[in-house]
Amino acid sequence: MRKTIKTPEVPMDRILTLPELKSNPFRKRICHVFSTSEHKDGSLTFEDFLDLLSAFSDSATLEIKSHYAFRIFDFDDDGTLDGGDLEKLVNCLTGETDDTRLTAEEMRQLISNILEESDIDKDGTVNLSEFQHVISRSPDFVSSFKIVL
Amino acid sequence: MTSYSSGGFFNPAYHDSETLEIDRRSSSRTHHTNPYAREDPERGNMHYLSPDQTSADDAVGRVPWGGWQEESWRGRESIPMGLISTRPGSPSWQHDLNHSTFQIPADSRYDRSHSARLPSVSGNMTMRWRGISMRRMSMFPNSDPAHLAFTEDAIRNEMENEEQNLVKELVALSTRDRIRAIRDLPMSFEEKKHIRSQVLTFKSAKQSRQFTCFADCSENMSLSFRRCGYNVRSARQTLELWQGIMKEIGGTFGTSVLSYFVFLKWLLMFNIFSFLVNFGFITIPVLVYDPSPNIPLNVSFRGLEILTGAGYFNYTVMYYGGYSNETLVGLSDYNMQLAYFFTIALYMVLCGIALIFSMASSFKKNYVLADSSSSSAWQLLCSWDFNITNERAVRQRKNNLRVQLTESLSERAQGELLTLSEKLKHFGIYLGSWFLSTGLAVGCGVGIYYLCIYEKKHTTDAANWSLLQEAETLLVPFVVSLINLVVPLFYSLFNKFEHYSSQRKQIYALVVRNVLLKMSILGVLCYYWMNVVAEKFSCWESMVGQALYRLVIFDFFFLMLGSFFGEFLRNVMGRRLLPCLGVPEFDVARNVLELIYAQTLAWIGIYFSPLLPAIQILKFFILFYLKKVSLTQNCQPPRRSGRAAQMQTIFIALLFFPFFVGALSIVAYTAWSLTPSEQCGPFRGLNNTFSVVEVWIDKLETIPGSQWVVWIFQNVIRSEIFYFFITLIIIVVIYIFWQVTQGRKQLIVQLRQQIINEGRDKSFLLEKLQNLQKSNKKAKQKNHKKRASRRSDDHSSGGQSNSNAMVQALLARQRIEDEEERHRAGGVPVPSDISNSSALAQAMLARQRAEDQNEDSYQMSDRHSSSSIALTHSIQVAMVQGRDENYGMSGLSENPVNTSSAVTQAMQARQRAEQHRADDTDDLPSSVSSVMMQVMQARQRAEELPQNPAPAGSSALIQAMLARQQAQNEYDDGY
């Protein structure tokens, strides 16, 4: 019977006013990944919010962190990081404005470098296991994929 | 539903038949949308009344399919379905299947499957699930809705199975492990709850018989214990020291700077612990026994003692000399000598263990698999600090990241284009700077030694020094601290001339030079204390303690000065006077090395001045705030981020290896080899400190019941044999582990190669598949044209689209075969979860099934039995074989319904094959004859039909397919 009562959801705009998420370049992706809302608007229920915090907590394992990082970076939700995802990722990290983003040539070079480095099975995309392989080689990830309350 | 009951797979012979899995599936299919429906306009009118009805049929036909696959696909074991289907209000896909599967367009279904986070399963299982969806994507790049819908089902089934496996795994675990395992699943809260409830219901169902009161009680007990533990943990988190400040620093300056403060805090805690130990076991008993220090009358507190630590302090419990060697008689006897010895020993051992453990865990986490290529782009992309909350810091960080990314690109582009002369020049600079830095370190050590000798001449053993004498003692610590401040600055100047290929190497070089410097200074000082001071002064341990006290205090002052000059003045200069210098960055490496040096002083001093940790606590506490203010006021976030965790590991390793081990060996040397002073301290009158244990053992021998302690002492502590064996065993174990490591390294190389091979296989297969798809479409179009023009009117279009569907099936089959060949050629069997191509095979099977089902739906719509399908196929074989000779096959117009006509058709096929061979100029006799054999076999199967209708029919189908395929090949070759 509990199922029939709709759990209240906090809209994404409200969530994004939190100081911990306000200036994060991935804030919208984070909301979308953790949201279980049917409208796909990134609104979070209380349980989604708990999920978010636990994934970003100190005690979450590398497994969980890399899983969610993969989904955050997977902008088109297709289960792989392809060229488009990587481009969006780099743009998120360097800033979206024209003067901060990389040039098209640099971007192309960078993406081909990334794929060359991490695409073990050479299918042109980075899948979860390849991503986790990469993550296991960058030890800073665990300490930086963290939100301190 | 009809096909579910009418399909042949209830027949036991069906399951035992030797045919391929594909056969089993092909006979039990129902209506299904043809993936090529849009390309075949004729078909819709003939077999389907309307599109709406089609989808309705589909929805019905699909339901039993999941259940069927559950039990027969690959013979997988699974938990009875009841567990899944009876769960209350489960948000599972089954509802979708029953109600809404086909009302929703395929595209949106696909989207939802991701956002709804279908129950995925623990670590590797998630990966597998991801893998499947990934493979599906690459399988069907131009997503055909029908395909997607179908593979979606296959994936759901797969996941359903995996979920059940997971539940089974979890049930087998103990409560604590299960809780941890569930917590570590990468799923949403809802799904975790669902898994947990499933596990619990499964478990209670299992245990209901042996349910006892005791089990209930223990369950409750463990539950309350766990809750208590959680409460304690959360309370501890609330009481965490400096949490707010840490967050602020991390939010503005990132993790690498934060790691300095974490290290500082860790050292502070370390010192609090050591202070508590020393104070509790050594100082408190003395203070309780004799609260007033016995200070000579002519010594008074003058203020300068705070700096020098001499004079008044010399007679307090601050130093070694302030402790007595008596056995304190109170409520029970307290042997001061033993207490002093064991407390220090225990403290050193505990420090060592704590360091080893933190170092090992840090190594395991941060260093083991770290890549050597530091400029790799991924490392930059993954290093985004989610900690950072400051708007300005985020902007700065983005800029830095962009610069680093472009740098990494240009570095890569430049490559290694250094000429020989350039290389030689670099090498010369390295050599020169290393020579210079080592020379500087040695020179500093020598200088300090002569300074100490000079100081020794001027100090006397008198009880009361004049103020000047006292002030003179400050010379050595002043010089030492000055060297520690200035020389590292020189070292960082070297970096301007050297060109290290990576920043990491640069930092390492800096760290190694600084360590050398500090080691040489400390080594010289220790030599002086052990060999010169110990000879000259009557209460030399206290003198050493004083010297260490002074060093600690001066180190503190110079740390403050360092942050004033290094950060504040630099900031002022950078902002006002020389803008080109810029705002300074916080140099984590240098600051951490200073901390390590400070801590080493405290460790060496622990024997000579047991309360030195108190000074250290004060020092670190003030330093924390000082550094924090200096950082926020003067510094900017570091331009180069990353490697913070790795650097931290190195720092802990440094703290352990040269510094802690050095301090330990000095203390051990003092305790074992040096004669304690005769006038003061707890060990007066003994040959060395360790003999206090011998005396104690001698005493113990007289007490009955403590013989075992004596035995242990005689046979373990004092026996060389014991240590010999221990060393031997450790060496053997190390050797074995080393071998294991080597083996693993090889294994890693092999597995990596295997992954690459699998990837190549996969891309090859995909290419082939796409080619086939293209050629298949073309061929089909050609077929259409041919048939439309050449066939007479009485040919039913049903037959035409049958053959159309069969082309699909054949192609799919061919693909499977190709892939099987690949597998055989590949040789090494690979576990399914890491093998891409075997999973690919599954995806292909799914696709194959889709196509099979399409094809079957045609057959079923004609209300034929499965035998007639086979026959139709053999007719098709025959027809294609003889297509160029005879197009008007009258038999085709009637749908064959009985066995004898099937045989006739097969015979015809054979005839035509023969005819064809005769026509052909014996080019390919072998292939034609093999085609014949296939057709013969098909005929045989068809004749067996009455006994065993479904399997025979379906295997006949396969044979017919083979025949047709070969015929087609040959046909193509002929032209």
**CA–CA separation, B906 and B911 (whole Å):** 9
Mean pLDDT, range B178-205, rounded to an integer: 81
**C-alpha distance from B93 to closest chain A C-alpha (Å):** 15
Reply yes or no on whether the pLDDT at B862 is more than 70: no
Alpha-carbon span B541 to B679, nearest angstrom? 11
B374 closest CA partner among B216, B507, B266, B239: B507
- Alpha-carbon distance of B401 to B410, in angstroms, equals 14
Q: Do B383 and A141 touch (CB under 8 A)?
A: yes
For helices B612-634 and B243-278, what crossing angle results, to 10°? Answer: 170
Distance from CA of B775 to the nearest CA of A (A): 23
Q: Give the closest-approach CA distance of B600 to chain A in angstroms.
A: 27
Secondary structure (DSSP) of B77-140: ----THHHHTSTT---HHHIIIIITTTS-HHHHHHHHHHTT----THHHHHHHHHHHHHHHHH-
Q: Give the residue among B773, B765, B779 at the shortest CA–CA distance from B811.
A: B773
pLDDT tens, B741-757?
Answer: 999 999 989 998 888 88
Average pLDDT of the segment spanning B219-230: 84
| Inter-chain touch A24–B377, beta carbons under 8 Å | no
- Please tell me if residue A48 touches chain B, with a CB cutoff of 8 Å: yes
Of A35, A50, A80, the CB nearest to B137: A80
Residues 6 or more apart in contact with residue B792 via CB below 8 angstroms: B887, B888
Q: What is the three-state SS of B669-738?
A: HHHHHCCCCCCCCCCCCCCCCCHHHHHHHHHHHHCCCCHHHHHHHHHHHCCHHHHHHHHHHHHHHHHHHH
Pairing of strands A9-10, A44-45: antiparallel
For residue B597, the model assigns a pLDDT of 92
Cβ-based contacts of B126 with chain A (< 8 Å): 67, 128
List of chain B residues whose C-beta atoms are within 8 Å of the C-beta of residue A138 = 370-371, 378-379, 382-383, 642
The residue of A144, A146, A147, A149 whose CB has the most chain B CBs within 10 angstroms, and thus the best one to mutate to test that interface, is A144
The reply to whether residue A143 touches residue B644, judged by beta carbons under 8 angstroms, is yes
**N- to C-terminal Cα distance for chain A?**
35
Q: Among residues B237, B223, B328, B244, which one has the least CA distance to residue B285?
A: B328
- Which are the contacts of B255, defined by CB distance < 8 A and separation ≥ 6? A140, A143, A144, B385, B387, B641, B644, B645
Under the banding of pLDDT at 50, 70 and 90, the label for residue B644 is low
Q: Do residue A121 and residue B755 have CB atoms under 8 angstroms apart? A: yes
Mean pLDDT of A21-38: 85
Superfamily of domain A59-149 in the CATH hierarchy: EF-hand (1.10.238.10)
Determine whether the interchain pair B189/A40 forms a contact, defined as Cβ–Cβ distance below 8 Å.
no
Q: What is the rounded distance in angstroms from the CA atom of residue A130 to the CA atom of residue A117?
A: 10
Q: Minimal Cα distance from B643: which residue of A?
A: A140
Residue B688 in contact with residue B672, Cβ under 8 Å?
yes
What is the arithmetic mean of pLDDT over B233-250? 82
Chain B CB contacts of A47 below 8 Å: 188-190
Residue in the block written with tokens 């080689």? A137
- pLDDT at position B332 is 73
Q: Give the whole-angstrom CA distance, residue B728 versus residue B160.
A: 54
How far, in Å, CA of B193 to CA of B199, rounded? 10
Q: What percent of chain B has pLDDT over 90?
A: 13
Yes or no, beta carbons of A125 and B646 under 8 Å apart: no
- Asked if the model's pLDDT at residue B498 lies above 70, the reply is yes
Under a CB-based contact definition with an 8 Å cutoff, are residues B309 and B318 in contact?
Answer: yes
Which among A19, A47, A110 has CB closest to B377? A110
Q: What is the mean pLDDT of chain B?
A: 69
Size of the A and B interface in Cβ pairs below 8 Å: 205
Mean pLDDT of B782-804: 48
Contact B224, B232 (CB under 8 A): no
- B763, B775, B771, B751: which is closest to B840 by C-alpha? B763
HSE at residue A22, side-chain half, CA atoms within 13 A, is 10
Query: What's the CATH architecture for A8-55?
Result: Orthogonal Bundle (1.10)
Interval B737-741 mean pLDDT: 95
Residue type, B150: F
Q: pLDDT at residue B79 above 60?
A: no
- Report chain B residues whose CB lies below 8 A from the CB of A136: 369
**Rounded Cα–Cα distance for residues B148 and B157 (Å):** 14
Q: Using a CB-CB distance cutoff of 8 angstroms, which residues of chain A are in contact with residue B388?
A: 23-24
Chain B hits for A113, Cβ within 8 Å: 377, 408-409, 412
What secondary structure does DSSP assign to B257-271, as a single string? Answer: HHHHHHHHHHHHHHH
Q: How confident is the model at residue B940 (pLDDT cuts 50, 70, 90)?
A: low
Of all residues in chain A, the one with the smallest CA distance to B259 is A143
Q: Is A52 on the interface with B (CB under 8 A)?
A: no
Put simply, whether A145 touches B (Cβ < 8 Å) is yes
Residues in chain A closer than 8 A to B409 (CB atoms):
106, 109-110, 113
Distance from CA of A120 to the nearest CA of B (A): 6
d(CA B307, CA B552): 10
Q: Which residues contact B85 (CB under 8 A, 6 or more apart)?
A: B94
Distance from C-alpha of B579 to C-alpha of B595, rounded to nearest angstrom:
31
Q: Locate B17 and state its tokens.
A: 């038949």
Identity of the highest mean pLDDT range in B248-252, B627-631, B649-653: B627-631
What are B335's strand-pairing partners? B327
More confident residue, B605 or B939: B605
- Between B41 and B486, the more confident residue is B486
8 A C-beta contact, residue B429 and residue B501: no
Contact A56 B391 (CB under 8 A): no
- Hey, CA dihedral for B877, B882, B883, B886, is it positive or negative? negative
Q: What's the mean per-residue pLDDT of chain A?
A: 82
Tokens 């209708």 sit on residue: B949
Q: What local confidence, expressed as pLDDT, does residue B939 receive?
A: 52
A57 touches chain B (CB under 8 A): no
Separation in Å, CA B371 to CA A47, A59, B374: 37, 24, 7
Q: Where in chain A is the domain with CATH 1.10.238.10?
A: 8-55, 59-149
How many residues would you count in chain A? 149
Distance of alpha carbon A73 from its chain centroid, rounded? 4
Average of per-residue pLDDT across B141-163: 65
Choice among A32-46, B309-323, B707-721, B890-904 with the minimum mean pLDDT: B890-904
In the predicted model, what is the mean pLDDT of residues B184-189? 79
The per-residue pLDDT for range B243-254, each reduced to its tens digit, is 888 888 888 888
Environment class of B51 (CB within 10 Å of its CB; exposed 0-12, middle 13-18, buried 19+): exposed
How many whole angstroms separate alpha carbon B655 and alpha carbon B599?
8
Structure tokens at B16: 């035992």
pLDDT at A47 over 70: yes
Judge residue B239's burial from the number of C-beta atoms within 10 Å of its C-beta, 0-12 exposed, 13-18 middle, 19 or more buried. Answer: exposed
Sorting pLDDT into bands at 50, 70 and 90, what band is B642? low
Could you tell me the pLDDT band of residue B658, with boundaries at 50, 70 and 90?
A: confident
CA nearest to B819, candidates B799, B802, B839: B839
How far is the C-alpha of B90 from the C-alpha of B183, rounded, in Å?
20
Q: How many helices (H) and strands (E) in chain B?
A: 39, 2
Neighboring chain A residues of B89 at a CB cutoff of 8 Å: 2-3
